Amino acid sequence: MKRSTDRILVTHAGSLPRPNDLIALYRDDASDDKLQPRLRSAIADVVRQQLDGGIDIVNDGEFGKAMRRSVDYGAWWSYVYDRLAGYELREEVAKKGRAAWTFGSKERKEFAAFYAEELSAGQSASASTSSQAMSGTSSARMYGLSCAAPVKYTGHAAIQRDIENLKAALGDARIADTFMTAVSPATLQILPNEYYKSPEDYTWALADAIREEYKAIVDAGFILQIDDPALVDIYDWWFSMNDDIAGFRKWAAFQVEAVNHALEGIPEDRVRFHICWGSWHGPHKGDVPLKDIVDLLLKVKAQAYSVEAGNVRHEHEWKVFRDVKLPEGKIVIPGVVSHATNVLEHPEVVADRLIRYASVVGRENVIASTDCGLGGRVHPQIAWAKLAALREGADLASKQLWR
């Protein structure tokens, strides 16, 4: 994995704004002969936009993961259930809706009025849309599925399609690195299990299945980014049930074991590990502090760790690395522009955030990024403006760090 040897390299967390016609093709469940040509050209376009914008470590914008509405927080994880066998639709599960850890949290109880108004506004907006648009987000289509048979990875053709599209888009472009994202075993547990005898057995099965996608990405020559917000995002729900940090850490430690099992045989220097505290635009008062899980994070067999550092709930957490030494050879990828606000970060603010991280882990061990994916979270114009600010801020930081 490339390091910031003479300037701060720039990447992002994965998801980028999709073209409206590509979203429509996914929403309408278009056949492959209609989808594939547009998907291939859209990926070529988004790679070119990244290169033109000075992004050093690029990806396919996650365009191969179906997003069915312009605002859709779930495509990054829900895509995988089209690539797994073992799940069946259960009407009683569908009636429950989203997983308990996303809607039964302490925060959603404390800020019940805010979340009720947000839900009401969303329902009002949906009422004015077409029947096709009301088919729901990519993730909404998945709720109701339950594991009813042995989990097996069946997405070989889909991941090879994504790999081939990205390779074609790259052509002979000169880049620092290329990455592709895949979901974590912990996050895969968002859908319930009725087949395996224990939660642990379910987790191991998911790890074995998703390993095949991990391996395909790395074998293609790309960096694998594992998206694992569940590792920290479940914390607030956990504390709505019981005040038990030891129990939470025991659960999280097991999830680290599971992801390392899925990574067995994959070189650490081809892996970066992304955590965030959820894409939704809410208070995030219940987020677990980075200092309480950083030791577990650093046990993941990855070379680089991508963490939120731009939003106001986590901006201060660079200080964690004053007390916790980053292991030799590792890299931190702080998100220094945020998906959680439409406010455009000033490049000097971006530079200051990067310089703070460089002061505690070393300039060569910092790669600039976004807190989370921007696609489906902010307007496309704002998303690309944030990436421009990210590049400009990284350049300002580099001038100070290498002067």
The pLDDT tens digits of the residues spanning 219-243 come to 999 999 999 998 988 777 666 566 6
Q: How confident is the model at residue 20 (pLDDT cuts 50, 70, 90)?
A: very high
**What are the angstrom distances between the C-alpha of 99 and each of 30, 104, 191, 254?**
28, 8, 7, 20
pLDDT at 370: 98
pLDDT at 243: 67
pLDDT at 137: 60
CATH T-level assignment (fold) for domain 9-401: TIM Barrel (3.20.20)
pLDDT at 234: 79
pLDDT at 235: 78
Q: How confident is the model at residue 110 (pLDDT cuts 50, 70, 90)?
A: confident
Q: How confident is the model at residue 125 (pLDDT cuts 50, 70, 90)?
A: very low
Domain positions in the chain = 9-401
Contact (Cβ atoms closer than 8 angstroms) between residue 288 and residue 232 = yes
pLDDT at 280: 80
The pLDDT tens digits of the residues spanning 178-226 come to 999 999 999 999 889 999 999 999 999 999 999 999 999 999 999 999 9
Q: Quick one: average pLDDT of 359-367? A: 98
Task: Return the C-alpha torsion angle 302, 369, 235, 192, nearest 10.
Answer: -70
- DSSP 8-state class, residue 309: -
Q: Which of 7-11, 55-59, 229-233, 327-331 has the lowest mean pLDDT?
A: 229-233
pLDDT at 174: 87
Q: How confident is the model at residue 126 (pLDDT cuts 50, 70, 90)?
A: very low
The pLDDT tens digits of the residues spanning 145-171 come to 899 999 999 999 999 999 999 999 999
pLDDT at 120: 61
Q: Which of 113-127, 195-209, 279-293, 379-393 has the lowest mean pLDDT?
A: 113-127
Beta bridge partners of 181: 225
Q: Quick one: average pLDDT of 267-290? A: 91
Q: How confident is the model at residue 144 (pLDDT cuts 50, 70, 90)?
A: confident
DSSP conformation letters of 271-302: EEEE--S-SS-S--TTPPPGGGTHHHHTTSS-
pLDDT at 68: 84
Give CA–CA dist 146/149, Å, rounded: 9
Q: Report percent pLDDT > 90 for the chain.
A: 72
Q: Quick one: average pLDDT of 301-323? A: 96
Q: What residue spans of 91-155 are helical by DSSP H? A: 91-96, 100-103, 106-110, 112-127
CA-only gyration radius of the chain, Å: 20
Q: Quick one: average pLDDT of 300-326? A: 97
Contact (Cβ atoms closer than 8 angstroms) between residue 57 and residue 11 = yes
Taking all residues of the chain, what is their mean pLDDT, rounded to a whole number? Answer: 90
**What are the angstrom distances between the C-alpha of 274 and each of 12, 70, 164?**
11, 23, 24
pLDDT at 360: 98
pLDDT at 286: 85
Q: Which of 206-215, 235-244, 337-346, 379-388 has the lowest mean pLDDT?
A: 235-244
Q: Quick one: average pLDDT of 372-401? A: 96
Q: What is the pTM of this model?
A: 0.92
Q: Report percent pLDDT > 70 for the chain.
A: 89
pLDDT at 119: 65
The pLDDT tens digits of the residues spanning 26-40 come to 999 999 999 999 999
263 pLDDT higher than 70? yes
> Residues, the chain, total?
403
Give CA–CA dist 162/47, Å, rounded: 13
98 pLDDT higher than 60? no
